[in-house]
Amino acid sequence: MHRRDFLATTALGIGAATAPSALAKQSAAPELLAPTPPMGWNSWNSFATTITQDQALETATIMAEKLLPAGYDVFTIDIQWYEPEASSYTYNSAPKPEMDGYGRLLPAPNRFPSSAGGKGFAPIAEQVHALGLKFGIHLMRGIPRLAVERDLPVLGTRYTARDIADTSSICPWNPDMYGVDMRKPGAQAYYDSVFALYASWGVDFVKMDDMSRPYDAHAPEIEAAHHAIAATGRPIALSLSPGETPVPRADHVARYAQMWRISDDFWDSWDLLAAQFTRLENWNAHRRPGGWPDADMLPLGRLALGDRDTNFTPDEQRTVMTLWSIARSPLIMGGDLRYLDAATLALLTNREVLAVNQASTDNRPHFIADGMRLWTARAADGRDRYLALFNLTDEAQTIGARFDLIGLPQGWRARDLWRGADVGAFGDRFEQRIAAHGAGLYRLTRAG
């Protein structure tokens, strides 16, 4: 599950720290959301279901100070902000979510006291916006089961929750909602009412969950959310979760959402990280400005309700950031920013690395040898190239390839983007010593 210069008034754009590519400039028409991969922070990895108003505002303040200058601008409160008794990574079996009289979820006032009196998230959104950030929330697919039990009316219609609910369509891991049968009168009106409410609060980003499995069965609700957002007149980016979104549905998902998960929840396990390589390779041809395959949040720093720090080694952490950058996945930090250490901050805010994520083009994987992965991309100037090397084995190795095998001519000078240092000139091949489970990221400039 589950930054501040904008390219366009309505776009989730690249931060002041990075230069947009020509392609991004051309694509950033007013109607295009997310012309570059969204960057931000999400509460799930560190707070689970439990985040409160004070914690959220403290985190947003730190984010604005520490991460916004590097381009991270989407601040998102994840799942069950409407559940008064939310307490962990598990869900109450008999939830009693806060709702209005039309079955629309509201922040639990015991956790978000500024929401009292029907204000919803508007007061928090206002404070987040004042920090220069976008404000996002998590939303489960469907209509609350409690609204169906109470048979609440659908705003502006003669229909009720029972009329539109599909009680056979339930999330296998969360008990909050029933699906909405989009064939029923009043179904689109319900989604329209939900997004109208959240637009009135100042929401800029919605992470919508239980959307991609099974994809075809949920596609009508994906379309409904898209149409409801359009009806608000507010530029709200839509992020679909969790995966695995099927690659054959790439055109459909890119039509209706700005980013979509390509895996189940990604946590700090080497096996999970190794599996993301193939997924990102499979999705590579389907990435476009305004539509980003999402390898999930970055489980870095302090995690899991403060119980522990990331299990990734420093080399594995660099691998995560290198892979997400060269494959242009959204960069959504998940760790608790209240405990942000210098090493993690440096990892997240390396401007040369972030430029790969935000402004490279022609990104592509190459398959040269077992136990390694290699990606190339074109830099924003159109002349230089990026080269990422990955060692998937358990021992340090010399990793590289002949330039002709990766479609490049001979003769390049290389700069190590992680070290911020030149590493020399190379004739017909490039190679470097890479740590176990480690990565290197280089900018190549023609020699001579």
Domain total of the chain? 2
- Interval 332-337 mean pLDDT: 98
Q: Return all residues near 215 (Cβ < 8 A) that are at least 6 apart.
A: 245, 246, 249, 253
| H helix intervals, 180-295 | 187-201, 215-232, 250-256, 270-283
Beta bridge partners of 444: 385, 414
Encoded tokens for 207: 């992470």
Q: Which pLDDT does position 13 carry in this prediction?
A: 34
Are residues 231 and 146 part of one domain? yes
Kindly indicate the confidence band of residue 41, based on its pLDDT and cuts at 50, 70 and 90: very high
Q: Is 411 contained in some domain?
A: yes
pLDDT band, very low/low/confident/very high, at 422 (cuts 50, 70, 90)? very high
Same-domain status, 370 and 352: no
Cα separation, 21 vs 355, in Å, equals 9
CB 391 within 8 A of CB 371: yes
Specify the range with the lowest mean pLDDT, choosing from 115-119, 242-246, 363-367: 242-246
The two tokens of residue 166 are 């599909």
Q: Indicate which CATH number applies to the domain containing 274.
A: 3.20.20.70
| Tokens standing for residue 76 | 């998102």
- The vertex-235 CA angle with 233 and 241, nearest 5°, equals 120
Q: Is 347 within the bounds of a domain?
A: yes
Q: Answer with the one of 359, 384, 402 that is the final residue of a domain.
A: 359
Q: Do 201 and 68 fall into the same domain? A: yes
Are residues 326 and 254 part of one domain?
Answer: yes
pLDDT band at 439 (very low <50, low <70, confident <90, very high): very high
Whether 14 is covered by a domain: the verdict is no
| Confidence band for 30, pLDDT divided at 50, 70 and 90 | low
Q: How is residue 398 written in tokens?
A: 């010399």
In this predicted model, which residue has the larger pLDDT, 88 or 328? Answer: 328
What is the model's pLDDT at position 29?
43
Greater pLDDT, 243 or 217: 217
The parent domain of residue 118 ranges over 39-359
Q: Domain containing 399 — which CATH number? A: 2.60.40.1180
Residue 133 pLDDT class (50, 70, 90 cuts): very high
What's the average model confidence in pLDDT over 173-195? Answer: 98
Q: Are 14 and 68 in contact (CB under 8 A)?
A: no
pLDDT for position 32: 86
Cα→Cα distances 61→257, 340, 404, Å = 28, 13, 48
Residue-averaged pLDDT of the chain: 93
Q: Give the pLDDT of residue 93.
A: 84
pTM comes to 0.92
302-303 vs 308-309, strand pairing mode:
antiparallel
| DSSP-assigned letters across all residues of 110-173 | TT-GGGGGGTTTHHHHHHHHHTT-EEEEEEESSEEHHHHHHTPBPTTSS-BHHHHEEEEEE-SS
Helix (H) or strand (E) holding 352: helix 351-359
Domain boundary among 296, 325, 359: 359
Mean pLDDT, range 338-363, rounded to an integer: 98
